[in-house]
Structure 1
Amino acid sequence: MVKISYCDEMSDVEVKIEGVLVRNQTIVSNKKMQNILEQKGCGEISKKKFILKPFESLYLLYTNYLELKEGKKKINFDTLMQKCLKYDNNILTKFLIYRDLKSKGYVVKDGFGFGSDFRVYERGHFGEKGAKYLVFGLSEGKQEKLGQLQKKVGQITQMGKEPVLAVIERRGEVIYYKISKIKFLKNEANPPITPIEL
């Protein structure tokens, strides 16, 4: 039995999460575990099966709360990471952000698309209100076109959410930047020069 003490006040409840790996997702069959995980914002029901997303499975393996098997073979963190990389080149970035946000007590769910990796709920408001923040990650050294960034920010603010850029430093530390809507002037090959009087 393992004591769960992540993302909640359940440290006194002893549970063992058992999952079966199918491609890069984990299926949890135990109904009690499904309910506990779902109340805490982990996993979701899809086609009558309770599924943990790859970053959730990685987090639970990392924190030793998940026993994961593929057939009869036990899967560890490194093996799962390698399997997940075949499906998603950004899984390490997603895992690092997810782990960091969970360690700060946030409920974190998969993003809506258009580049947002996660929906992040205010502490204590999961299930009561929609997500306040939409977080998208960027690894240090990776380039992002300003036009793409502007588009993401515009879409997120139109939804009434706060866009947050999570930058992963080379050491694995996550730094968050709140971003507001921006408008760039169009670049011109030979812009007119306006004289300045001194």
Structure 2
Amino acid sequence: MEKDVEEEAERRQDEKTVIHGLLREDGVIVSSSEDIEGLTSRGYGTSKNGDLILTFTEALYLSSKGILEVKDEKTDEKVSFEELLERARSFSEDAWVKYLIYRDLRSRGYFVREGFGFGADFRVYKRGEYGKSAAAYLVLGVREGQPIAVEELARILTQVQSSKKSLILSVINRRGEIVYYSVSRLSFM
């Protein structure tokens, strides 16, 4: 997966082509049908009215790889990675943490989508299973030292397990390194 992204970035740099997106309030919009097809086949974005809407996390990742160039819809000026991150932070104070987790999971070859509730940040598909089966894992990201109540974790775990998925706790230390923990319920007989 990461190799595919790297190859795509190299190909686009060789051809001097990048995907163009417009920054809107709710994310980044890609309108080119060729770009939409390429991105959706690799698990990016959500189709809406013939366009593709990238989440801020997806846009940050693609921008950092040199695949996506973002312009502000209102000013038509190019938006830097830092400006895109600031916009993302205005929606979620954990935007940087989410980006780091997303980048790490993508670099490990996983298809990653935004979570669908339960307090989870991401849905993660087994390698080669995106589009064929449901996500196998839900990932909850926390910063080292950030408290999370046991009751809250138990509630999330119950909901995740009721949907027949595994909960993965992603802990980011102060140096930005990520450690993953599988969370499950232990019962004594």
TM over 0.5: yes
| Range with bigger deviation, 4-13 or 31-40 | 4-13
Deviations 1:67-118 (A, max 9, x none): 1000321001111111111111111111010000000110001111121111
Pairwise CA distance, 1:48: 3.9
In structure 2, the partner of 1:171 is 175
- 2:96 equivalent among 80, 92, 95: 92
Q: Which residue of 2 aligns with 1:65?
A: 67
2:41 aligns with 39
Q: Which has the larger radius of gyration?
A: 1
Asked if residue 157 in structure 1 is aligned to residue 161 in structure 2, the reply is yes
Distance 1:130 1:6 in 2: 22
Kept in 2: contact 1:157–1:181 (CA 8 A):
no
How do 1:100-111 and structure 2 match up within 5 A? 100-111=104-115
Which of 17, 20, 23 is residue 19 of structure 2 equivalent to? 17
**Structure 1 residue 65, shift from structure 2 partner:** 1.1
Q: Tell me, which stretches of 5 or more residues in structure 2 are unaligned?
A: none
Q: Distance in 1 between matches of 2:127 and 2:71?
A: 32
**Would you identify which runs of 4 or more consecutive aligned residues in structure 1 move more than 3 Å?**
4-15
Shift of the alpha carbon at 1:24? Answer: 4.6
2:58 partner letter: E
The answer to whether the 8 Å contact 1:140/1:170 transfers is: yes
Residues 1:56 and 2:58 are matched in the alignment: yes
Structure 1 gaps, min length 5:
184-198
Amino acid at match of 1:116: A
Query: What pairs up with 1:75-154 in 2 under 5 angstroms?
Result: 75-154=79-158
Aligned-residue CA RMSD (Å): 1.9
CA displacement at 1:8 relative to structure 2: 8.1
Contact 2:124 2:136 in 1 (8 A): yes
Identity of aligned residues (%): 37
Counterpart residue identity of residue 156, structure 1: V
Distance 1:128 1:49 in 2: 23
Residue by residue over 1:124-183, the C-alpha shift from the partner in whole angstroms, topping out at 9 and shown as x without a partner, is 111111111110100111111110000001100110001000001111111100000257
Secondary structure class of the residue paired with 1:86: helix
Q: TM-score, normalised by structure 1?
A: 0.85
- Residue type of the alignment partner of 1:99: R
